[in-house]
Amino acid sequence: MADNLKDIATKETKEPQIRLLVCRNCKTAEELPDWEGHPDDDVLLQITVERHQQPAPHTGLLFKFPVKYWMRPDVKASIMKQIQEGSAGLDVFGTKFYDTKSTFQEDAMNCYALHNRPIGQCSDYKSDRKILKPDTAKERKAEGLGESRAPKIYLCDFCPVKSYNMKKHNEQKGMYK
């Protein structure tokens, strides 16, 4: 069990990580996949932070944990308890102040359901409508910058249909023989 949040979050490691964005205003905690690049190129973080800018900018914290700890329910509960206790009285009435959510996975599953849970290919798979990108075009233009060179990330990357496409790709490469 996690005895100390700081020990887990600051441990130097090359193992898979997960990030947790905690918003002090909305009282939410959102799971994000790991990112090692420059923050300006972190599309998923930018999109998630944008959701917390209306009507006024929110205050938040970004934590990083090894996935092997985060996936253990007892450790996850301990981590969330330590985050909640970081400020007195956050859940005085048992309101589940910081329920964690995986926004992109939830959005992808809603899309998957709207497409009637396709077993094979989805008609919208990696279409331009499914590109996830922050709304920074005006700011980039004002600063004289071109389009962002951040990698393209699609909502489809969080959908079960991706596993169908990965299997198809691997079969074409002869990886299942």
Position 125 scores a pLDDT of 93
Give the DSSP per-residue string, 133-150.
--S-HHHHHHTT--S--P
The tokens for 20 are 């947790």
CB contact burial 99-125 (16+ within 10 A = b; e otherwise):
ebeebbeeebeebbeeeeeeeeebebb
Per DSSP bridges, beta strands 28-33 and 100-101 are parallel
Position 34 scores a pLDDT of 92
- Along the chain (177 residues), what's the average pLDDT of each consecutive run of 10 residues? 50 79 86 87 89 85 89 88 64 55 85 89 92 83 80 89 89 82
Measured between alpha carbons, how far is residue 115 from residues 65, 119, 158, 163 in Å?
Answer: 33, 10, 15, 16
- Give the span between the Cα atoms of 22 and 33, in whole angstroms: 14
What is the SS3 assignment for 77?
A: helix
Count of other CB atoms within 10 angstroms of residue 130: 18
Domain ranges of the chain: 5-101, 103-171
Position 11 scores a pLDDT of 52
